[in-house]
Amino acid sequence: MNIGSRISKLRDDRGWTQEQTAGLLGISRAALSHYEKNRREPDTETLSKFADLFKVSVDYLVGRTNLPQSVLDEPVRDFVDHLELSEADILSRYELTIDGLKLSPEEAKRFIAFVRTERSMK
């Protein structure tokens, strides 16, 4: 399923017209029609508006997952958006655990190094 089909289905599932949906998004009905018919793809800002409006993830809209409800709650999203694991302050304020055991500062640093290495290999 492509972006347009998912947007159209989500709108139809709610019984909303294109006019209503476009108004909620702050876009024109014509733009929404183009998105639904895959004549145009929404930019990242508009894609985020769709995700917020339909309470789905952007990954769902773009077809990276078939699980529409994997959206973080606002407080969790805010926390994740501002989390920098390399900061000593974060490591001292939060208990990072694996298998129920708290990571030591050295383990946390190795964990961060592992993630960075894995990312650089992609």
- Please report the pLDDT score of residue 91 as a whole number: 67
pLDDT digits (tens, 9 = 90+) for 14-50: 999 999 999 999 999 999 999 999 999 999 999 999 9
Q: What is the pLDDT of residue 21?
A: 97
Res 66 pLDDT > 90: no
Any idea where the domains of the chain sit in the sequence? 3-61, 74-120
**Cα gap 80→103, rounded to integer Å:** 19
Q: Does domain 3-61 have CATH number 1.10.260.40?
A: yes
Q: Which two tokens stand for residue 107?
A: 């383990």
Q: What is the mean pLDDT of residues 84-95?
A: 65
DSSP one-letter string for 12-62: HHHT--HHHHHHHHTS-HHHHHHHHTTSS---HHHHHHHHHHHT--HHHHT
Assessment of whether the complete model's pTM goes beyond 0.75? no
Give the integer Cα–Cα distance in Å for 33 and 30. Answer: 5
Q: What angle do CA 55, 47, 73 make, to 5 degrees?
A: 30
Using only C-alpha atoms, what is the Rg of the chain?
Answer: 20
Average pLDDT value for residue range 93-112: 80
Whether 86 shows a pLDDT value over 60: the answer reads no
